[in-house]
C-alpha cells in the first residue's frame, strides 16, 4: 500500500483500539510518520504491511498495535471470525476459553468471551489462569464445539498467542486444514468493519472448579508409585505449579521442592533469557535445587505446562534429558501397556527410535508432520510425542501434549526403577541394548529478519550438499511440493549414506531455522552404541554449522 494508504489504515485501526497502551504507541508513530520520520514510517509498515495468520494451531506473535501484532483489535476479529465459522458449522455451537498469565492473556480471553457470547455461541470461560492441558481437557470433558487457549507457550515474554481446538468429530484436537483456512477467511470478512460494531454480551458461563478437579483426578489416576521420590520442580514463571502440585499430591508423589524464584506466574520471566526448558541455562535454577535437596529427579514445565523437561543425577552432575530420550522411554513404557492394537506416533523430526520400539512390540508406528495437531489425530493412538518436549501419554483424556500428565508417567517410571534398584541413566543403556543406540541433536538459528530463513532454505535447494562434514549424502527429500503422504511444506530431509539423517525447516512458532540431527548404531554394548551414534551427531553438527555459515 502507498504511504497515504498506510496512514489511513493506521488511523482507522487506532480509532477502534480499546487498549490505551497500543493505541498510544500507534498514535505516536502516526504523528511522527506524518512529520517525515522514516523510522516511524518503517515501524508502521511493519505493523500494517502484513497480517498475523493462522500458523501452528492458531495465532502467535509479538504484542503491539496493528494486524501484524497480537492486540485487542486482532483478537476481537479472531473471536468474531471463529464465532462465524462455528455458527456456519452447526446450529448451536459452544466454546470453552482458557488463558495463561502472560501479558494481556486474561484481557484477550474475556474479549473473546463477550464477543462469542454476543454472536450467539454458548460460551464458558475457565475461572482463572490455568495450564493449556486443562483447557484442552475441558474441550472434551465439556463436549463443546471448540476451545480457545490464550497463550504463547514457551515464546519470549513479548509474545502472546491464540490456540484453537475443535470438538465433535475432531475430538478436541487443534485445528488443521481446511478449518484453519476457513477460520482465516471468516476473520478477514469481519476485519472489514470496526470491532466496535461487533455485538457483545456478558452472558457467558464462568466454569466452576469441577473441571479442574476432574483433570487432576484423571491425571493422577495414571500414576504408579512403587518407591518414594525426592522431586525438584519448576513451572518456569508460568501457570503450572498450582495444578501440578495438586496432581502430584493426588498421585502419591507428595509435594516437590519448588524453585521459589520461579514459582509464581510472572509474564516478564525475569530469571531466564527464554522461558523454554530447551534453551541453555533455562533449567539452571531447578538443577541447582535438585543438587541442594538431594533430589532423585528434576521436573520442569514450560510456562503453560504443555511441555515436560527432565534432568537426572549422574556421576558428573545433573544432565537434562533430550526431548527424544524422554520420548523413547515413555514410548517404551506405552508399548508395554498397549497390548496388540496400539499406535505409537511421532513427528517426522523426532527420533526414529520410536519406530524400533513399535517394531519390537508389533505395534503400528505413525510419523506425522510437526505439531500435535497432527500427532493427536493418529487413529488408535496409544502414545505420541515430538522432540520439542511434547508428550501425549493419555489420549483418552486429552488430544494435545500435556506436560503434567507426562510428568506423572515419567515419575512413575522413575519410581518403579528406584524400587527395582536401578536408575533412569541405566534404563537408557537398557534401551540401547534392546532397540539400538540412538542419538539426536538440534541447531536453532534465531534470526531478526524472517527473510533470512527463506534465504537459507533457498541456498540449500539451489546448491544441495554432497557431504555434511566427511559424511556423504545419499538422498534428499524436498517437501516443498508435497512428499509421499505429506502435504507441501518447507522441509528438507537429508539422508546420509551411514543411515543418519538431517532435517531442516523453519520453526512454526518462533523466528528460527531449525535443524534436526539423528544417528544410530547397533555395534557393541549399549554404551558403545550410544557413543558411536553421538560421534556421528558431533560431526553432523559441525558440518551443518559450516554449511549454513552460522
CA pair distance 82, 34, nearest whole angstrom: 36
Q: Which helix (H) or strand (E) holds 231?
A: strand 231-234
Q: CB burial class (10 A; 0-12, 13-18, 19+) of residue 93?
A: buried
Half-sphere exposure at residue 153, Cβ-oriented, CA atoms within 13 angstroms: 25
CA angle centred on 313, ends 311 and 316, rounded to 5°:
115
Closest CA to 7 of 40, 55, 51: 40
Q: Is 412 a catalytic residue?
A: no
CA pair distance 234, 245, nearest whole angstrom: 11
Which residue in 153, 347, 376, 382 is the catalytic one?
153
CA pair distance 353, 338, nearest whole angstrom: 17
CA pair distance 542, 550, nearest whole angstrom: 10
CA pair distance 141, 173, nearest whole angstrom: 13
Instruction: Decide: 382 and 330 in contact? Cβ < 8 Å.
Output: no
Q: What is the DSSP annotation of 37-61? A: -HHHHHHHHHHHSS-----SSEEEE
Three-state SS letters, 350-417: CCCHHHHHHHHCCCEEEEECCCHHHHCCCCCEEEEEECCCEEECCCCCCCCCCHHHHHHHHHHHHHHH
With H, G, I as helix, E, B as strand and everything else as coil, classify residue 292: helix
Active site residue ranges? 153
Amino acid at each position: 500500500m502507498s504511504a497515504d494508504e498506510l496512514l489511513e489504515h493506521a488511523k482507522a485501526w487506532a480509532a477502534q483500539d480499546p487498549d490505551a497502551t497500543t493505541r498510544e504507541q500507534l498514535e505516536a508513530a502516526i504523528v511522527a510518520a506524518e512529520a517525515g520520520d522514516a523510522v516511524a514510517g518503517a515501524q508502521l509498515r511493519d505493523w500494517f504491511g502484513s497480517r498475523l495468520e493462522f500458523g501452528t494451531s492458531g495465532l502467535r506473535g509479538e504484542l503491539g498495535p496493528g494486524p501484524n501484532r497480537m492486540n485487542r483489535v486482532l483478537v476481537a476479529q479472531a473471536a468474531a471470525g471463529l464465532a462465524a465459522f462455528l455458527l456456519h458449522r452447526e446450529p448451536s455451537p459452544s466454546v470453552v476459553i482458557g488463558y495463561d498469565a502472560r501479558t494481556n492473556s486474561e484481557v484477550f480471553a474475556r474479549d473473546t468471551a463477550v464477543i462469542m457470547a454476543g454472536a450467539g455461541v454458548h460460551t464458558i470461560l475457565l475461572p482463572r489462569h490455568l495450564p493449556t492441558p486443562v483447557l484442552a481437557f475441558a474441550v472434551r470433558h465439556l463436549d463443546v464445539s471448540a476451545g480457545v487457549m490464550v497463550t504463547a507457550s514457551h515464546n519470549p515474554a513479548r509474545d502472546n498467542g491464540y490456540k484453537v481446538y475443535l470438538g465433535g468429530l475432531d475430538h478436541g484436537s487443534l485445528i488443521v486444514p481446511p478449518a484453519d483456512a476457513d477460520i482465516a477467511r471468516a476473520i478477514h470478512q469481519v476485519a472489514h468493519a470496526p470491532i466496535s460494531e461487533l455485538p457483545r454480551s456478558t452472558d457467558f458461563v464462568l466454569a466452576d472448579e469441577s473441571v479442574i478437579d476432574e483433570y487432576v483426578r484423571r491425571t493422577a489416576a495414571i500414576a504408579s508409585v512403587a518407591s518414594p521420590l525426592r522431586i525438584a520442580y519448576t513451572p518456569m514463571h508460568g501457570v503450572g505449579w498450582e495444578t501440578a502440585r495438586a496432581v502430584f499430591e493426588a498421585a502419591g508423589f507428595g509435594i516437590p521442592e519448588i524453585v521459589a524464584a520461579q514459582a509464581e506466574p510472572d509474564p516478564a520471566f525475569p530469571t531466564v533469557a527464554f522461558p523454554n526448558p530447551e534453551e541453555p541455562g533455562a533449567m539452571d535454577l531447578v538443577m541447582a535445587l535438585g543438587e541442594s535437596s538431594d533430589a532423585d529427579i528434576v521436573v520442569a514445565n514450560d510456562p503453560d505446562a504443555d511441555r515436560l523437561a527432565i534432568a537426572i543425577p549422574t556421576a558428573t552432575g545433573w544432565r537434562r534429558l533430550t526431548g527424544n530420550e524422554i520420548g523413547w522411554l515413555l514410548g517404551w513404557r506405552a508399548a508395554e501397556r498397549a497390548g496388540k492394537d496400539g499406535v505409537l506416533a511421532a513427528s517426522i523430526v523426532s527420533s526414529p527410535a520410536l519406530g524400533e520400539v513399535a517394531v519390537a512390540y508389533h505395534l503400528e508406528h505413525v510419523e506425522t508432520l510437526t505439531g500435535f495437531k497432527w500427532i493427536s489425530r493418529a487413529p488408535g493412538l496409544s502414545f505420541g510425542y515430538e522432540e520439542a518436549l511434547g508428550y501425549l501419554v493419555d489420549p483418552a483424556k486429552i488430544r494435545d501434549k500435556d506436560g503434567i500428565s507426562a510428568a506423572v508417567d515419567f515419575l512413575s517410571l522413575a519410581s518403579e526403577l528406584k524400587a527395582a534398584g536401578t536408575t533412569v541413566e541405566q534404563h537408557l543403556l537398557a534401551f540401547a541394548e534392546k532397540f539400538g543406540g540412538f542419538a539426536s541433536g538440534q541447531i536453532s538459528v534465531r534470526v531478526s529478519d524472517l527473510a533470512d530463513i527463506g534465504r537459507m532454505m533457498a541456498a540449500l535447494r539451489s546448491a544441495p550438499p554432497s557431504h555434511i562434514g566427511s559424511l556423504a549424502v545419499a538422498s534428499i527429500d524436498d517437501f516443498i511440493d508435497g512428499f509421499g503422504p505429506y502435504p507441501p511444506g518447507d522441509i528438507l530431509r537429508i539422508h546420509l549414506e551411514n543411515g543418519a539423517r538431517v532435517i531442516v525447516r523453519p520453526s512454526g512458532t518462533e523466528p528460527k531455522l531449525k535443524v534436526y540431527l539423528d544417528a544410530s548404531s547397533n555395534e557393541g554394548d549399549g554404551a558403545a552404541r550410544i557413543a558411536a551414534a553421538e560421534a556421528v551427531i558431533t560431526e553432523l553438527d559441525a558440518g551443518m554449522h559450516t554449511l549454513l555459515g552460522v
